[in-house]
Amino acid sequence: MSRYIDVEIETQVDDSKLGSFNKIYNIRKTSQVRKWLWGSLIVLFVVLFLPWTQNIRARGSVTTLLQEQRPQELNSIIAGRIVNWYYKEGDFVKKGDTILQLGEVKVDYFDPKLLERTKQQIDAKKIAIEGYRSKAQTAAIQVQALQEQRDAKLRELAIKLQQQDLKVQGDSMDVRAVDNELMVTKRQIEAAKLMLDSGVISLVDYERRKVSYQNALAKRTVAENKYLQSLQEIQRIRAERAGTIQEYIDKINKAEGERFSSLSNAASGDADVAKMENLYANYDYRNQLYYVTAPQDGQIAKARKAGIGEMVKEGDMLVEIIPDKIKYAVEMFVSPMDLPLISKGQKVRFIFDGFPVIVFSGWPQASYGTFGGVVYAVEKSVSSNGKFRVLVVEDPNDKQWPPQLRMGGGANGIALLKDVFIWYELWRNINGFPPEYYKASEESKDKSAEKKK
């Protein structure tokens, strides 16, 4: 009975107008599973030979290469108290805008006319210095005058000495002449005595010759005395010359001492003026420090000091300024295992936080919403997190980075390596092999091409 029913059902399937028969009984229909299986295998085989770009993923944040473009603290150089705020957090300022005003808290600077009085002291000191210099100049003129007087006096004494030498020579010649005359009269008196004894001449002639001898002897004494006086006059002139030299040495030394003393006082005054001018410049610069200005264009953030009258110390942070114009970069942290695969000039793709993106890591050309970058520098020292810091800048040959980027924003970096087949990438991952360093392959190709040439 059951067999008859089965036969009846099978024979009535094609003739039945009921849809349930056509859907349930597929006895005479061929299956498509085999075709789908072979098709999937062929597609999978083809996909295995498609190109795949090896890459390294690293997490980073938005920063900048230039230190002056990073958020910077605005510190107080002097101690003081806050008098007035001109801007608040979130406001944008231009370079040179006054952010706040400080008041003085040190007793040494309370005088409101401190600069004026310091300037008066400097002017008075300069006048005193000019007096010392004038005195030194007068002393120099006096020294010159004394030197001229000394030279004139020495010339006069030299002339006197020369004249006296001539006089000594004349007196010595007179002495010689008198000596000759005395010798003649002496011989005459001796001859006259013999003649007197012989009776040739009278006593009167003898006495006359004796008188001549006495006169010659007197003349010799006078000539010798005159000659000795001339010699003594030479000694006196020489002593006067030595005394004159010593006298003018004392006078010139005294004038020179006064001149050097004046110059020393002027130099000491110059040192005092330099110190006072230094104080004046410090006071003037300190007055400018009462007004804290913006070092560059930017936005005010993180005001550490708040109320009016609040005290601040030297070096205390007042506010933080975020620069307005920033050339952005990304700092990535790469593990030591992947560090040899990163080099300067390498291409990197970025996924910035807050921007829609469709990523195919193996096909960067097919990705949407990623931005290009170029490795600018790789630090040689490890960071505190155990990874190496890599700085990446915007790729000039790719689309610009979004202007909505902000310092500290997150960024996922994809460092692009060598293009390989998908089957090779699967095999590499299964075996745990590292990616290939495409730079070495390019260099080897260049070397082989040069060898062929």
153-200: pLDDT as tens digits: 889 888 988 888 888 888 888 888 888 888 888 887 777 788 877 777
E strands along 91-137, which residues?
92-93, 98-103
CB 19: neighbour CB atoms within 10 A?
Answer: 8
Q: Work out the pLDDT band at 448, boundaries 50, 70, 90.
A: very low
Report if residue 39 sits inside a domain: no
pLDDT at 3 over 50: no
Q: Which of 51-60, 222-231, 378-387 has the lowest average pLDDT?
A: 51-60
Q: Give the model confidence (pLDDT) of 102-117 as tens digits.
A: 988 888 888 888 889 9
Longest dimension (CA), the chain: 235
Which residues form the domain of 159?
114-288
CA gap 318, 311 in Å, rounded: 11
Q: Is residue 369 located within the same domain as residue 261?
A: no
CB 339: neighbour CB atoms within 10 A?
Answer: 17
| Alpha carbon separation from 25 to 6, 8, 12, 17, 345 (Å, rounded) | 12, 13, 11, 13, 67
Report if residue 3 sits inside a domain: no
Q: Residue 231: enclosing H or E segment and its boundaries?
A: helix 203-289
The token pair that represents 388 in the structure block: 């190496």
Domain end point (choices 301, 322, 343): 322
As a whole number, mean pLDDT of residues 35-42 equals 82
As a whole number, mean pLDDT of residues 127-142 equals 91
E strands along 92-136, which residues?
92-93, 98-103
Q: Work out the pLDDT band at 358, boundaries 50, 70, 90.
A: low
How does strand 98-103 pair with strand 291-293?
A: antiparallel
* Nearby residues of 221 by Cβ (< 8 Å), 6 or more positions away: none
Q: Work out the pLDDT band at 309, boundaries 50, 70, 90.
A: confident
CB 412 within 8 A of CB 57: yes
β partners of residue 333: 389
Burial class (CB in 10 A: 0-12, 13-18, 19+), 151: exposed
Q: Is residue 340 located within the same domain as residue 396?
A: yes
Q: Give the model confidence (pLDDT) of 61-119 as tens digits.
A: 888 888 888 888 888 888 888 888 888 888 899 988 998 889 888 888 888 888 899 89
Which pLDDT score is estimated for 452? 44
The token pair that represents 433 in the structure block: 């092999």
Report if residue 45 sits inside a domain: no
Q: Is residue 337 located within the same domain as residue 414?
A: yes
CA gap 168, 226 in Å, rounded: 9
Which pLDDT score is estimated for 438? 44
As a whole number, mean pLDDT of residues 379-392 equals 87
CATH number reported for the structural domain that contains residue 309 in this entry: 2.40.50.100
Which pLDDT score is estimated for 180? 83
Q: Is residue 418 located within the same domain as residue 445?
A: yes
Q: Is residue 282 located within the same domain as residue 294?
A: no
CATH number reported for the structural domain that contains residue 405 in this entry: 2.40.30.170
Which pLDDT score is estimated for 368? 65
The vertex-165 CA angle with 159 and 171, nearest 5°, equals: 135
How does strand 92-93 pair with strand 298-301?
A: antiparallel
Q: Which of 48-57, 149-158, 242-251, 294-303 has the lowest average pLDDT?
A: 48-57
Q: Work out the pLDDT band at 314, boundaries 50, 70, 90.
A: confident
Count of H-run helices and E-run strands, the chain: 7, 14
Query: CA nearest 185: which of 167, 149, 150, 209?
Result: 209
Q: Is residue 94 located within the same domain as residue 203?
A: no
Phi, psi of 225 (to 5 degrees): -65, -40
Q: Is residue 218 located within the same domain as residue 85?
A: no
CB 9: neighbour CB atoms within 10 A?
Answer: 12
As a whole number, mean pLDDT of residues 354-369 equals 64
CA gap 292, 86 in Å, rounded: 10
CB 376: neighbour CB atoms within 10 A?
Answer: 15
Domain end point (choices 279, 304, 322): 322
CA gap 247, 147 in Å, rounded: 11
| Alpha carbon separation from 447 to 188, 418, 441 (Å, rounded) | 138, 18, 10
Which pLDDT score is estimated for 5? 47
Which pLDDT score is estimated for 127? 92
Q: Give the model confidence (pLDDT) of 241-268 as tens digits.
A: 899 899 989 989 998 999 899 889 999 9
How many percent of the chain have pLDDT more than 70? 82
Report if residue 30 sits inside a domain: no
Number of domains in the chain: 3
| Alpha carbon separation from 284 to 14, 113, 288 (Å, rounded) | 111, 11, 7
As a whole number, mean pLDDT of residues 438-446 equals 43
Report if residue 20 sits inside a domain: no
Report if residue 414 sits inside a domain: yes
At how many degrees (to 10) do helices 33-48 and 422-431 cross? 80
- Flag whether the pTM goes above 0.75: no
Q: Is residue 56 located within the same domain as residue 162?
A: no
Q: Is residue 436 located within the same domain as residue 386?
A: yes
Q: Is residue 172 located within the same domain as residue 282?
A: yes
Query: CA nearest 340: which of 415, 402, 423?
Result: 415
Q: Is residue 248 located within the same domain as residue 120?
A: yes
**Residue in the structure block whose two tokens are 């299956």:** 31
Which pLDDT score is estimated for 347? 84
Report if residue 27 sits inside a domain: no
| Alpha carbon separation from 87 to 132, 291, 325, 413 (Å, rounded) | 54, 13, 20, 38
As a whole number, mean pLDDT of residues 331-346 equals 83
Domain end point (choices 322, 345, 377): 322
As a whole number, mean pLDDT of residues 233-246 equals 88
As a whole number, mean pLDDT of residues 346-373 equals 73
Q: Work out the pLDDT band at 40, boundaries 50, 70, 90.
A: confident
DSSP state for residue 411 in the 8-state scheme: E
State CA 13 to chain mean position distance: 102
Q: Is residue 407 located within the same domain as residue 385?
A: yes
Report if residue 151 sits inside a domain: yes
CATH number reported for the structural domain that contains residue 131 in this entry: 1.10.287
pLDDT at 441 over 60: no
pLDDT at 139 over 80: yes
CB 370 within 8 A of CB 411: no
**Residue in the structure block whose two tokens are 């007068």:** 138
Which pLDDT score is estimated for 20? 63
β partners of residue 216: none
The token pair that represents 90 in the structure block: 């979130």
